[in-house]
Structures are given as C-alpha cells and as structure tokens.
Chain A
Amino acid sequence: MKLISISLRNLRIRLVATVLTMMSIIVATALYAAILVMAEQTEARYEGSIGGFQAIAGPNGTSELELVLNTIFNVGEASGRIPLEVCEQLRKSRGSRFRRSQVRYAIPQARGDSISRFNFPVVATIDEMFSKFEWKREPLQFAEGGPFEYSWDELVALATGLAAHENGKRAGDEVIPERPLLQKKWKQAVVGARVARSLKLKIGDVVVPVHGKLGEYDTHEHPEAACAIVGILEPTNSPIDSTIYLPIGIHLLIDGHAGGVFINKLGAGQSPVKAESMPVDPMRIALTAVICDPLDHMGSQILRKQFGSHEEAQVAWPQDVVPKFLRQIGNAADALAVIAWLVLLVAAVSITVAIYNTMNERRREIAIMRSLGARRFQILAIITGEATLLSFFGAVLGLVACHSAEYFMQPTVEDLTGVYLDWTLFKVWELWLVLGVSGIGAIAGLAPAVKGSMTQVADNLAQNY
C-alpha cells in the first residue's frame, strides 16, 4: 500500500463529486488542447501547403486571401472567373514588352465540382499539373498509376471548337460547326492520397463528378463524365491529398457547363444582354485560377507590375498572404487560449472548494491515520495527491476528448477551413499540458491539504461516530 492508493481510494469513494469536479478539468483541458491543435495544425497546414503555389492568378474583385484559400486549400467556392487568355498571357508573356515567359509554368484550373459524401473537390486542369507543377520543388509523385493525358494544345483546340460552335449559334448560321464531343480518352482521373484512402479507390475504379457539393441546392451528378482512375498521388500532407484532378476538357463539355464557359467582355456602355449575342473568342473560356511559378525574382516583379493594373485578373502570392492570415489566426488563438486558461483557473478553484468541503467529514479519518503514525506531510501528500490525480485524470481525459473531437469533426473542419485535423498526431506539448494541469491541481489541493494536516488528532479520535 502506498499513499497514492489512499488518494485514489478517497477519490473513488466520493465518485460523484470526483466526476463532477473532473468534468471542469476535462472541459478546460480539451478546450485548451483544441485551441492549440487547431492553431498548430492550421499553421502547419497552411505554411506547409504553399510549397508549390508560388503565384495564383485569379479574378479581380475578390480578395487575395479568398483566392489563395480557394485555390490551394479548397475552402469556399471560386468567387469569380478569368478568361483563358490570362493563362496564355502568362505562358507566352503576350501583351508584355518581354519576349520570353516570366514563369516556369502556368497551369489553368477550373473548379466547382466535387465527389462523394466527403465533398472532395474536383480540379479540372491539364497534364502539366503532373509534369511541370512542382510541389516543394519536386513534381507530384504517383503512388500508383500515372497522369492523365490532356495537353494545353488540346485545351486550346477544344476552346477553338467550342467558340466556333457558339459563334455559329449566336450568328444564327444555317450550318453551325458541330460542338466538340466529350472524348472517351479524356475520361481519366488522378486522385490525391486521402481521396483514395477514404473512398478505398484503386486504379480502374470510376468516379462520378457532382456539380456543386452534395447536400447543397441544385447539385446533380454528371454520369456522362464518369472517369476511370489512372493515377493515385503520393501523400503530400496538403490539400492536394484531398483533390481529384480531371482533364479540363471534361469540365468544359459536361452538361450545365457548356453554355456558360465563355466570359463575355463588356465594352464601355455595353449591356450584358447585348454581350451575350456578340461573337466569342476561344481565349475567353472561363477558368477559376491559374497557378504559376515565376522564373526568378525579376519574374515576380514583372508579374506584379503586369497584373497590378490588369482589368480582369490579379495575382496573389501565397507566401505573402498566408503568413498574414496565420498572424490573424494566431491572435484569435491567443485570445481563446486566455479563455481556456480562465476556465482552467475556475476548474482549479472548484477542486479546492470540492476537497476543502470534505475536510470536516474527514477529520476523524485523518486523525486515525495520524494515530497510526502518519506525519503531517503524509496527510498533506495524500490530499494534495487527490487533487493532483483528479487533475491528471481530468487532463488525460481532456486530451482524449480533444482527439475524439478531432476525429469526429475532421470532415467538417476540413470542409470549412481546409485544415485536415490529424487526430492520431500526439505532440510533446500534450505531455507538458498534462503535467501543467496536474501541477495546477496540486496547487489547488494545497489549501485543503494544509487544513487536513492541521487536524487535531486527540480531539477527533475522541469522537464516537
């Protein structure tokens, strides 16, 4: 028998009071841990996820943060569209006074569809996503299979065909060029590691894109665009893992998209209705973003200048936007942490009160132990031990509650914020948190412990209960 077993037994015989007091510790610890986890994993996620996205061209009229969050972190909806000519401009530096392109790559992306109950976002793009795009200075690696084949030239050809068809319709020609057909060879998909893991997908399986997100108004499946999986990416611990990549040709041709794939360019004083009857340019095909990587510092400066006064597009720089965003999150996390500490303080006071209130009824028990030879410090240790154990178990259960919440809230949190909460991740600070909370509990137990240790032995032994 040890002093700690007496402390444990004392907690057990006052089980209801113990559980109720422990609840406050559990809540405080879980709250504090959740704040830290969110702040930490958000930071890790956002800082670690900008590795390949050096610059993002997106529509004007939206914030840079919104553009970055949507394009990199799959958060929210694409807030606008930019014409294909922006991408072409980046690729060829067309319209600028520089002869060569200032970027290593400029890859068009179109979003708006998703897959499955997890609402994994679909990104329609071209094959350069797997050949030129660099994730932390390395091309994306395939765990299984390989990339789909859909080149920039195919996209331009398709845009030209669609424009010819659309222009024929708008002009009311008798012979309208045939609308390009969805080709079977395009029906290929590459999925991120988490998509494959969550949906238990393997090479050859078929995924059907959903317009919008399941559960939202006006969502519908695109069975005509069902794609066979040709590649599964290696994990990157970034939102890439939760993304499905399809050839952009599919996006442009599936039902509900075709009529609206062109962005009308309004002239001065031109009404939108009139613009809809004007001829379309193949380079006015709508994209949601273009991801690009400037060649060098000079390239970055040129891009900044080039897009500083662009009438339709802007360029966002994730490495500038994300740290600012994280600072704001950090401030909010600090404020929440203060609240969590206050909750913990209240919990500590509740420990003091709960144990202090038992001291009167325990005078005889303490006197008996003293009569057996227990020294004051041993009584002090037993009672402080109770408070410490109460806090320790509360802290451990608080962490369990935090990790459970991470597990259950993970899909929602990822959907809302783009942060994937890895509930299996245990950090060293969690150990320190348990020790810290236990220490606070021990301090909270000192007042009742001192009172208990001062119990008069002879007086209380004399009582007959």
Chain B
Amino acid sequence: MIHLRDVQKSYSRGDQTVLACAVDRLDIESGEQVALIGRSGTGKTTVLHILAGILRPDRGEIDVAGARLDKLGEAARDNHRGRNIGMVYQTFNLLQPFTALENVLMGALFGRGAGGDAKERAAALLEKVGLGDRMHHRPGELSVGQVQRVAICRALINDPQLILMDEPLGNQDKATGGQVLDMMLQIASDNDKTVVMVTHDPGSAERMQRTVDLATLRGDTATSSGATSVETSR
C-alpha cells in the first residue's frame, strides 16, 4: 500500500535549508494499522502530507495506493488524494459554516463526487457513529467528540483505501477520544482499510498494529543502512 524510498524534504528558511524529514525506506502493507511516532520536529506531519500528496518531496520514490506520487503533478495528486485517501486532523478541520452532513458531503464532493447516493451514504455514516440526530448541526453546536466523529465520517465517505490521521486525540480527553478512535479502527479493520496515524501519544500508538519511530528514519541513518526504522509489532 505504501512504499517510500529515499524520501527527503527540506525547507528554506532565509539562507538556511532545514531538513524537515528523511525516510530511507518505509513499507506499509494493505490493511495494516500503523502509528508513526516521534518527538516534536521529527517531521511526522510532513511525512503524512507527503503520503497524502499535499507535499512533494525534494527527492525519493513515493508509492501510495498504487500511484507514484513523486511522478504526479499537483492536480493528479489532489485527485488521487480525494479518491483514495481519507484524512483526520488533530483539529479535525471541519468547515464551521457547514453542518455535519455538509462537511461529510464535502469530502465526497472533492473526492468521488457528491452526486448519486452520496447524501444517503453520508447520512448512514453519521448514523453509524451515533450522530443521526445531529447531522444538521454545525461544528460549533457539537461536542469535541462529536466533531471528531464527523471528521472520521468525512474521511470514510469516499471509501478510501488509506486513512491518514494526524494526532486524532490531540484536542480531547483520552477516554472519549479513545473510544472514538477504537470505533474508527474497528470500521477500518472491518473494511480492510490501511490506517496510518501520526501521534506522540503512546496510548494512541498502542491501539495500532505496528509502531514506527520516525526519529530512526532520518536521512543520516537511513542513507547508509537502508531500512532503519525501529518497529514494534503487536
């Protein structure tokens, strides 16, 4: 599902070039649930954005869900992301003026299209996560846990092969967030989805099948020895 080779991304800050992330090799199989952990500044979110096709690395091969993202143009990567990848963010990133249902439908609109039965699918997803009676509420009228569930529904609306999550429990209490995350992982597992979650929270990482520490994937270690990630499998 995911194959990264010799990927490197750096930013210019004035005269300086800052290495944001470097991954020599990373392979995640279809249906796997993987946590990418690492200290702040190790480039977790950058890797996630590279996997999503939001960022293009300076070099390296990126194969995600059957597409060589490093070879695709921006529009093609956008199209690929919309159709094949669902994303859940730390701040959930719902659009405030739109209702829960509309937020979920927006995922469809920019993905596989909001026509046909998209509305029914969105409503069914919201029902499934217990928001059947809240689908016409705006994010401001929902609790953090409910907002998180809407974000999960939006990530699932296009039936993506890959779900990318960036600190999905970052903004809420562990108990509530944990329940929702478990629900998400269960849905993903039931539907054979691949899940990659970026987190610095060990509790969240433990819920995943495998943990990869990004600190060990930095270019200085990766360039000489190939696959150097420290992995914990469960």
Query: Is A461 touching B74 in the complex (CB atoms < 8 A)?
Result: no
Query: Is A368 touching B93 in the complex (CB atoms < 8 A)?
Result: yes
Query: A1-B102, A1-B105, A461-B93 are contacts. A372–B79 as well, Cβ < 8 Å?
Result: no
Query: Is B97 touching A1 in the complex (CB atoms < 8 A)?
Result: no
User: How close is A13's CB to chain B, nearest CB, in angstroms?
Assistant: 5
Q: A79 an interface residue at 8 Å Cβ cutoff?
A: no
Residues on A lying within 8 angstroms of B by beta carbon are 1-3, 6, 9-10, 12-13, 364-365, 368-378, 457-458, 461-462, 464-465
Which residues in chain B, 73-128, are within 8 Å of chain A measured between CB atoms? 74-75, 78-79, 81-83, 87, 89-91, 93-95, 97-98, 102, 105-111, 114, 118
Query: Is B110 touching A378 in the complex (CB atoms < 8 A)?
Result: yes
Please, which residues of chain B bring their CB within 8 A of the CB of A374? 78, 82, 110
Please, which residues of chain B bring their CB within 8 A of the CB of A370? 54, 78
B54: which of A375, A376, A458, A464 is its contact (CB, 8 Å)? A458
Query: Is A10 touching B97 in the complex (CB atoms < 8 A)?
Result: yes
B97: which of A3, A9, A458, A465 is its contact (CB, 8 Å)? A9
Task: Write out, one digit per residue, whether chain B residues 18-31 have a CB within 8 A of any chain A CB (1) or not (0).
Answer: 00000000000000
Query: Is A372 touching B105 in the complex (CB atoms < 8 A)?
Result: no
6 A-B residue pairs with Cβ-Cβ distance under 8 Å, sorted by A, are A2-B114, A373-B82, A375-B78, A375-B110, A457-B54, A458-B54
Query: A1-B109, A458-B55, A462-B45 are contacts. A372–B114 as well, Cβ < 8 Å?
Result: no
Using A10-B97, A464-B91 as known contacts, list a sample of 5 further A-B pairs with CB atoms less than 8 Å apart, ordered by residue number in A: A2-B109, A372-B106, A373-B78, A374-B110, A377-B75
A13: which of B89, B97, B111 is its contact (CB, 8 Å)? B97
Query: Is A458 touching B110 in the complex (CB atoms < 8 A)?
Result: no
User: How close is B106's CB to chain A, nearest CB, in angstroms?
Assistant: 6
Q: B36 an interface residue at 8 Å Cβ cutoff?
A: no
A275, B111: Cα distance in complex, Å: 98
A464, B45: Cα distance in complex, Å: 14
Query: Is B95 touching A365 in the complex (CB atoms < 8 A)?
Result: yes
Query: A2-B114, A458-B54 are contacts. A369–B106 as well, Cβ < 8 Å?
Result: yes
Q: B5 an interface residue at 8 Å Cβ cutoff?
A: no
Please, which residues of chain B bring their CB within 8 A of the CB of A9? 97-98
Query: Is A1 touching B78 in the complex (CB atoms < 8 A)?
Result: no
Query: Is A373 touching B45 in the complex (CB atoms < 8 A)?
Result: no
Please, which residues of chain B bring their CB within 8 A of the CB of A372? 81-82, 87, 106-107, 109-111, 154
Q: B52 an interface residue at 8 Å Cβ cutoff?
A: yes
A375, B83: Cα distance in complex, Å: 12
Which 6 A-B residue pairs are closest in the complex by CB-CB distance?
A: A373-B82, A373-B110, A1-B105, A374-B110, A372-B110, A1-B114
Please, which residues of chain A bring their CB within 8 A of the CB of B97? 9-10, 12-13
Please, which residues of chain A bring their CB within 8 A of the CB of B90? 464
A203, B87: Cα distance in complex, Å: 80
Which residues in chain B, 22-73, are within 8 Å of chain A measured between CB atoms? 45-46, 49, 52, 54-55
User: How close is B199's CB to chain A, nearest CB, in angstroms?
Assistant: 16
Residues on B lying within 8 angstroms of A by beta carbon are 45-46, 49, 52, 54-55, 74-75, 78-79, 81-83, 87, 89-91, 93-95, 97-98, 102, 105-111, 114, 118, 154
Query: Is A373 touching B111 in the complex (CB atoms < 8 A)?
Result: yes
Please, which residues of chain A bring their CB within 8 A of the CB of B98? 9
Query: A10-B97, A458-B49, A462-B45 are contacts. A371–B75 as well, Cβ < 8 Å?
Result: no
A2, B106: Cα distance in complex, Å: 9
User: How close is A325's CB to chain B, nearest CB, in angstroms?
Assistant: 55
User: How close is A373's CB to chain B, nearest CB, in angstroms?
Assistant: 2
A13, B102: Cα distance in complex, Å: 15
A429, B94: Cα distance in complex, Å: 43
Query: Is B81 touching A373 in the complex (CB atoms < 8 A)?
Result: yes
Query: Is A375 touching B79 in the complex (CB atoms < 8 A)?
Result: yes
A368, B78: Cα distance in complex, Å: 12
Query: A365-B95, A368-B95, A376-B75 are contacts. A1–B82 as well, Cβ < 8 Å?
Result: no
Query: Is B89 touching A461 in the complex (CB atoms < 8 A)?
Result: yes
A371: which of B52, B74, B105 is its contact (CB, 8 Å)? B52
Query: Is A371 touching B106 in the complex (CB atoms < 8 A)?
Result: no
A458, B74: Cα distance in complex, Å: 13
Query: Is A376 touching B106 in the complex (CB atoms < 8 A)?
Result: no
Please, which residues of chain A bring their CB within 8 A of the CB of B46? 458
Please, which residue of chain A has its CB at the minimum distance from the CB of B94? A368
Please, which residue of chain A has its CB at the minimum distance from the CB of B45? A462
User: How close is B141's CB to chain A, nearest CB, in angstroms?
Assistant: 15
Please, which residues of chain A bring their CB within 8 A of the CB of B114? 1-2
A369, B154: Cα distance in complex, Å: 12
Please, which residue of chain B has its CB at the minimum distance from the CB of A3? B109
Please, which residues of chain B bring their CB within 8 A of the CB of A378? 110
Please, which residues of chain A bring their CB within 8 A of the CB of B49? 457-458, 461
B93: which of A12, A13, A371 is its contact (CB, 8 Å)? A371
A3, B105: Cα distance in complex, Å: 11
Please, which residues of chain A bring their CB within 8 A of the CB of B81? 371-373
Please, which residues of chain A bring their CB within 8 A of the CB of B74? 376
Please, which residues of chain B bring their CB within 8 A of the CB of A465? 91
A370, B81: Cα distance in complex, Å: 9
Please, which residues of chain A bring their CB within 8 A of the CB of B102? 1
Please, which residues of chain B bring their CB within 8 A of the CB of A13? 97
User: How close is A296's CB to chain B, nearest CB, in angstroms?
Assistant: 72
A374, B111: Cα distance in complex, Å: 8
Query: Is A371 touching B95 in the complex (CB atoms < 8 A)?
Result: no
A227, B79: Cα distance in complex, Å: 82
Please, which residues of chain B bring their CB within 8 A of the CB of A458? 45-46, 49, 54-55
A307, B78: Cα distance in complex, Å: 85
Please, which residue of chain B has its CB at the minimum distance from the CB of A365? B95
User: How close is A202's CB to chain B, nearest CB, in angstroms?
Assistant: 57
User: How close is A377's CB to chain B, nearest CB, in angstroms?
Assistant: 8
Query: A9-B97, A10-B97 are contacts. A375–B75 as well, Cβ < 8 Å?
Result: yes
A457, B102: Cα distance in complex, Å: 21
Please, which residue of chain A has its CB at the minimum distance from the CB of B74? A376
Please, which residues of chain A bring their CB within 8 A of the CB of B109? 1-3, 372
